[in-house]
Amino acid sequence: MTVDPGRIDALRTRYDGWNMASRRVEVGSLEDEAEAMFDRGWTDGLPVVAPTEARVARMLDGTTRSPGDVVALVPPALVECTVEKVAVNAVMAGCRPEYLPVVLAALGAICTDEFNMHGVLATTMGVGPVFVVNGPIAQRIGMNAGINVLGHGNRANLTIGRAVQLVVRNVGGGRPGEIDRATHGSPAKLSFCFAEDETTSPWTTLAEERGFARSADVVTAFCGEAPRIVIDQHSRTADSLVRSLADGLRSTVSSRVVAAMDAMLVVSPEHLSRFSDAGWDRARFMEELGAHLMVDTDTIVTGAGGIEEGLPEAMAGLTLPKFRPGGLLVVHAGGPAGLFSSIVGGWVNGPMGSEPTSREITP
Amino acid sequence: MSDTDPSPTSGHHPDAAKHSGTVMLLDPTSEAESTARVLTARKPSLDGLTIGLLDINKPRGDVFLDRLQQQLGHRGATVLRFAKPTFTKPAPADLRHEIATQCDAVIEALAD
């Protein structure tokens, strides 16, 4: 044995590689491997990293789980997916080995009856799984919870979400134009994964709200569309800003929809400081926000305002909450400057559609 | 290139196949083969058949299926109505079994 890392990889490929169950695909010397993978339909439209035996072996070092362990039945084909297959797709997505436990937990979360990945994939509505990571692992693996949190530039955020979607595509067979029938689709179909900023917030975290200890590593999957911005650069009081955010949230998906679809609100640090400066904790914020999200159904029944979309006329004369109890997930994230928050609208919620689903991330 | 070349930038390495110059990849797919099934032969007539009408539970699916039921009734078919609990999920196995055992054919309505 030698301390040369290249030598170790070569030896592992020779001796451990044979233990991997996946079919081997040989790419010829005159082929471009990136093109070969596009040609085989293995990619999401962006180039992927070639899943060689050595790279997959290194990826598998990221978990203590056995390569043959079944992680999930992946829709739409409901195929048994092993840790090894997840590792192959994680290599292709560009993950580092230390991201693999997050990918495994995220995949476990969406491949459940409650999250309903089959429906999330197949629906004509442009939604996808949105992942929020809480706990020490987020910082340990270098996830972004700050500047450009929902954007580009961070390898962990972008490749974890992408790896999960590649598994759905390659193992589950969920390809656009086939079972995936989205009218417009959305960036959430490619990769939508970020960490909550737990260090600068006095509030409890999303995972704590969902029953986990602060010290636990948790991934929460939410079925959501692409994010949109709520701008408020003038509110100086908590009361003004909570009304303003409620105003933005009321039109989520459609102002005509109440209680049937959830939303995620990503509150920026500057917006959150309005509330923390006023002494509002998360519970107080949720209570005040909910009070401003009551909707007079007279304004949204079919025909109101000359619009046919809406609740049945029989539901006129009521006051209903825009979101069902627990149907608004609030996360603190974003760069330190900027008086914006972001809304991620949801899809059909609960047992009739998709339930936000959290899973503890284990090694 | 030797098969122990540690260069991390080479596409052929450190994972080179035994054969010089080729790269061995692991298949990222399920490796499952789809089963091809022969379609059931077309019925020459609707007379005496039992036709299932499956509502996927989208708005106005009933409008479409009510009309179909009327038309099929005129043509001598017996119609049985079924509905998925929600359009967002595949039909439950019990429902599929019920349709398969009770009907000669099924028509599924997607609507809005």
Q: For the beta carbon of residue A285, count every other beta carbon within 10 angstroms.
A: 23
pLDDT tens digits, B44-96: 888 899 999 999 998 889 999 999 999 999 998 999 999 999 999 999 999 99
Question: pLDDT-based confidence at B12, cuts 50/70/90?
Answer: very low
ipTM: 0.91
One-letter amino acid of A34: A
Question: pLDDT-based confidence at B35, cuts 50/70/90?
Answer: confident
Task: Please give the residue of chain B at the shortest CA–CA distance from A113.
Answer: B89
Look at residue B111 in the predicted model and tell me its pLDDT.
Answer: 77
- B17/A51 touch (CB, cutoff 8 Å), yes or no: no
Calculate the alpha carbon distances from B79 to B66, B92, B102 in Å.
10, 21, 10
Residue whose tokens read 């001796």: A15
- The shortest C-alpha distance from B67 to chain A (Å) reads 22
- Comparing A3-17, A233-247, B68-82, the range with the smallest average pLDDT is A3-17
Buried b / exposed e across B23-50, counting CB within 10 Å, b at 16+?
A: bbbbbbbbeeeeeeeeeeeeeeebeebe
- Residue % of chain A over a pLDDT of 90: 93
- A24/B25 touch (CB, cutoff 8 Å), yes or no: yes
Chain B interface test: which of A53, A107, A114, A120 (most B C-beta within 10 Å): A53
- B89/A116 touch (CB, cutoff 8 Å), yes or no: yes
Q: For the beta carbon of residue A15, count every other beta carbon within 10 angstroms.
A: 10
Distance CA A201, CA A220 (A): 19
- The shortest C-alpha distance from B17 to chain A (Å) reads 8
Complete DSSP assignment for A116-127: THHHHHH-SS--
Look at residue B2 in the predicted model and tell me its pLDDT.
Answer: 39
Distance CA A283, CA A272 (A): 13
Considering just the CA atoms, what is the radius of gyration of chain B in Å?
A: 26
pLDDT tens digits, A179-236: 999 999 998 899 999 999 999 999 999 999 999 999 999 999 999 999 999 999 999 9
Residue whose tokens read 């084909």: A77
Q: What is the largest CA-CA distance in chain B?
A: 77
Dihedral pair phi/psi, residue A208, rounded to 5°: -60, -40
Complete DSSP assignment for B20-56: TT-EEEE--S--PPPPP-PPPPPPS--TT-EEEEEE-
Q: Which of B13, B28, B90 has the CB atom closest to A170's CB atom?
A: B28
One-letter amino acid of A124: T
Look at residue A286 in the predicted model and tell me its pLDDT.
Answer: 98
- B6/A6 touch (CB, cutoff 8 Å), yes or no: yes
Q: Which of B4, B8, B30 has the CB atom closest to A7's CB atom?
A: B4
Structure tokens at A252: 């989520």
Task: Please give the residue of chain B at the shortest CA–CA distance from A55.
Answer: B15
One-letter amino acid of A283: A
